[in-house]
Structure 1
């Protein structure tokens, strides 16, 4: 099952769209088997604390990897993992932690090479490549995020607030959600007006974002039952034309 024109039209016309879990899962399965999805999902239990946010009194767990993703010819969709490198955003895009080379723990090799992740990357190339056919190769950053809500402290999926990432396109894919309330994604246009809002509640629910055209952010998350563990696990994939400087 490939994306229907309505989703491509929404991205072109509005700069974003929400994709329900059943649809997104079908899109990914069209790109390859998801037989290792359970192991892929469970790898969120082994993320490292975000030590940069710890300095600010905020908590988040994450891992990071960079890929080169071919968008043309017989190798289209082939993703090659690159040497581990820092995640960098300028202050123009991240007022909280901009102009800092942030070194996160790498995504584990078995997860970085997994069927599930490579199906996701092939899907990103197919979908976003159809919107930008002039791009020959994408610089791709993959982020595993776990946001935990503490007893008296909501979790902050986007502690930098409403923002852009400084890339071309963004996929936010919900992997798991346990004992969590709120966490609504909101989309704002370049004038700051809200143009969309939705909540990722089921595994495979996803947001697709044209980063050049809209801002996005997520409201804090709270534990439904403060006595039990709670988390919101997402995979964020960003794509930038490899010929364009960051």
Structure 2
């Protein structure tokens, strides 16, 4: 990445950080994310996204649904150095996830080739840089526990798909990034933001690949409306990549 592009990316991260500090949420279009991530990473986009066709069914759905597929990976980051951690379960307390929380959930690990893909590495680096900036007033050099989630939500003529079956919620972390990978034959899937009292703060739809929302999870709740097919005879799915960042004690 050129020094000029690195400087521009840093400036855009500072703008997003200011919006997060002010509003608790910042939305960036796919075109804006392309500018932030740079052309080099975009050359790896097709290889990165192809693995969404090989996710495992989420067998922990308390509603009995078979509409969610996923893979999962954990990383640690400190001073800009990001390392993949040993594969482990995903855990949320029922305080944050009253539907599927309270148990250790073991998902298929994200493939090594996916993690090492240049696009994934660049995105992890940019998000870590961004959230380092966000944490700057509170923790000069935070250590992060990072979770990466690949999701595919499917829908059919007889079953809607719920991206957030727990409804409006927090994830119990510090910061969250949600990037749209693809959206095929989907109606609805509207992202909704609320303050802790339940007051609506706004809504928008991740429509185009790389559309991304950044959240200060300590300050806002978020949810996504269920999806259904535009054309009930066609395959329907919504693919996203979620990154969560939680401070850990050094």
TM-score for the superposition, normalised by structure 2: 0.91
Corresponding position of 1:174: 180
- Deviation readout 1:184-224 (Å, 9 max, x if unpaired): 00000011100010000000101100000000000011111
- For 1:136 and 1:34, the matched residues in 2 are separated by 28
Give the alignment partner of residue 41 of structure 1, picking from 39, 44, 49. 49
Corresponding position of 1:199: 205
8 A Cα contact 1:184 1:198, kept in partner: yes
Deviates more, 1:6-15 or 1:112-121: 6-15
- For 2:20 and 2:55, the matched residues in 1 are separated by 31
- Deviation readout 1:156-177 (Å, 9 max, x if unpaired): 0001111000000000000111
SS in 1 for 2:61: helix
**CA-CA distance at 1:18 after TM superposition:** 1.1
- For 2:82 and 2:247, the matched residues in 1 are separated by 14
Give the alignment partner of residue 72 of structure 2, picking from 34, 48, 64. 64
8 A Cα contact 1:79 1:118, kept in partner: no
Corresponding position of 1:122: 125
8 A Cα contact 2:13 2:130, kept in partner: no
Corresponding position of 2:218: 212
8 A Cα contact 1:53 1:59, kept in partner: no
8 A Cα contact 2:62 2:99, kept in partner: no
Give the alignment partner of residue 52 of structure 1, picking from 48, 56, 60. 60
8 A Cα contact 1:36 1:116, kept in partner: yes
- For 2:57 and 2:249, the matched residues in 1 are separated by 32
8 A Cα contact 1:157 1:218, kept in partner: yes
**CA-CA distance at 1:79 after TM superposition:** 1.6
SS in 2 for 1:129: helix
Q: After the TM superposition, which segments of 4 or more aligned residues of structure 1 sit over 4 Å from their partners?
A: none
**CA-CA distance at 1:6 after TM superposition:** 4.2
SS in 1 for 2:65: coil
Where does the alignment leave 5 or more consecutive residues of structure 1 unmatched? none
- For 2:85 and 2:162, the matched residues in 1 are separated by 29
Give the alignment partner of residue 231 of structure 1, picking from 220, 223, 237. 237
Cα distance change of structure 1 residues 166 and 4 upon mapping to structure 2, 3 Å threshold: closer
Corresponding position of 1:93: 96
TM-score for the superposition, normalised by structure 1: 0.92
Residue 11 (str. 1) matches residue 20 (str. 2): yes
Where does the alignment leave 5 or more consecutive residues of structure 2 unmatched? 1-7
- Deviation readout 1:38-76 (Å, 9 max, x if unpaired): 011111000000011176234200000001122x2xxx1
- Report the count of equivalent residues: 238
- For 2:113 and 2:47, the matched residues in 1 are separated by 9
SS in 1 for 2:204: strand
Corresponding position of 1:105: 108
Cα distance change of structure 1 residues 4 and 240 upon mapping to structure 2, 3 Å threshold: closer
8 A Cα contact 1:48 1:105, kept in partner: yes
